[in-house]
Amino acid sequence: MLGWTLTFVFQFNFNRVILSGYSRISFLLAQGMRGNFCAGR
């Protein structure tokens, strides 16, 4: 039971870190693409 709880907590934290990192990277990509688009025009 303890191992299952630790696994669940680890998985939850891992997913949260992945999601936060992915949203940050996608935000930076969107900003960069917008900057390139404006510069291209």
**Tens-digit pLDDT profile for residues 1-41:** 688 898 999 999 999 999 999 999 999 999 988 887 777 66
- For residue 11, the enclosing domain spans 1-41
What's the pLDDT score for residue 29?
Answer: 92
- What was the pLDDT predicted at 16? 92
Q: How far is CA 17 from CA 2, 10, 27, 41, in A?
A: 23, 11, 15, 36
User: Whole-structure pTM over 0.85, yes or no?
Assistant: no
Dist CA 5 CA 10 (whole Å): 8
Question: What's the domain count of the chain?
Answer: 1
pLDDT at 40 (0 to 100): 67
